């Protein structure tokens, strides 16, 4: 009996040791899993909170034709475009009048939860038309609008489009500039304008055969001269032409 008990003793000890190892591995695995979930949760939580935005200010150089556009990541709208290299188009967003990108301080503005709209959307791409929107007023838009117009913000005149124009639910905002082609922007009207974050659109020629289209809230028409000058100056600072 003693021999049997002695024989059984080591076996029980061996079984217990194996069990303890298994328990240890299980707890270790759970600890690792818990840490992974915690870290992953924090990363995912930040990603959800950022909602596609980034506060990274690393400057990227994007090449379109003979132009190099140098911009920080936090002004580039889409994640896949936040890189250096060649592109056919580059979409940006900026807060006006600060002309800066996304940051914690600007979060409400970019999430459109602030008291007013303040985000401008910009798109750079190769020039397709020989004239920008101002240059197209006399040869094209003037034949498509309905006279007379009505007074608009900032001394502009708002014109409706005729039925054959194809511009439904839109108006043309025109601001006279001495010695230059007029400021011209197309804006949505009615319910469409109320539902849009940036219902007005204008394009200008910049750089080396490059077109810049920018969309903005209709309220900015009251300050259209400063707005247009600020956009042009910002584009000039971003661009490195002739490469």
| Mean pLDDT (10-residue bins), the chain, 243 residues | 46 50 50 41 39 92 97 97 98 97 95 89 96 97 96 97 92 96 96 91 97 97 97 96 49
Q: Can you give the three-state secondary structure of 210-230, one letter per residue?
A: EEEEEEECHHHHHHHHHHHHH
The values of phi and psi at residue 220, to 5°, are -70, -10
- What is the model's pLDDT at position 16? 53
Provide CB contacts within 8 A for 91, sequence distance 6+: 76, 77, 78, 81, 121, 122, 123
- What is the model's pLDDT at position 140? 96
Q: Which two tokens stand for residue 31?
A: 């600890």
């Amino acid at each position: 009996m003693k021999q049997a008990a002695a024989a059984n003793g080591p076996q029980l000890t061996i079984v217990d040791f194996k069990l303890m190892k298994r328990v240890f591995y299980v707890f270790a695995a759970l600890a690792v899993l818990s840490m992974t979930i915690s870290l992953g949760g924090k990363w995912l939580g930040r990603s959800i909170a950022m909602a596609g935005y980034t506060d990274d200010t690393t400057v990227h150089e994007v090449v379109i034709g003979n132009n190099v556009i140098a911009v920080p990541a936090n002004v580039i709208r889409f994640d896949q475009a936040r890189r250096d290299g060649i592109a056919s188009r580059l979409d940006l967003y900026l807060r006006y009048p600060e002309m800066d990108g996304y940051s914690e301080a600007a979060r409400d503005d970019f999430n459109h939860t602030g008291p007013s709209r303040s985000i401008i959307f910009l798109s750079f791409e190769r020039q397709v038309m020989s004239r920008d929107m101002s240059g197209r007023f006399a040869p094209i838009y003037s034949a498509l609008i309905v006279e007379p117009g009505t007074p608009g913000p900032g001394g502009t005149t708002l014109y409706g489009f005729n039925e054959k124009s194809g511009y439904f639910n839109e108006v043309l905002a025109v601001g006279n500039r001495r010695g230059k082609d007029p400021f011209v922007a197309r804006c949505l009207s009615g319910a469409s304008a109320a539902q849009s974050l940036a219902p007005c659109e204008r394009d200008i020629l910049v750089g080396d055969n490059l077109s810049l289209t920018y969309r903005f809230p209709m309220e900015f028409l009251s300050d259209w001269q400063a707005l247009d000058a600020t956009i042009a100056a910002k584009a000039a600072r971003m661009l490195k032409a002739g490469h």
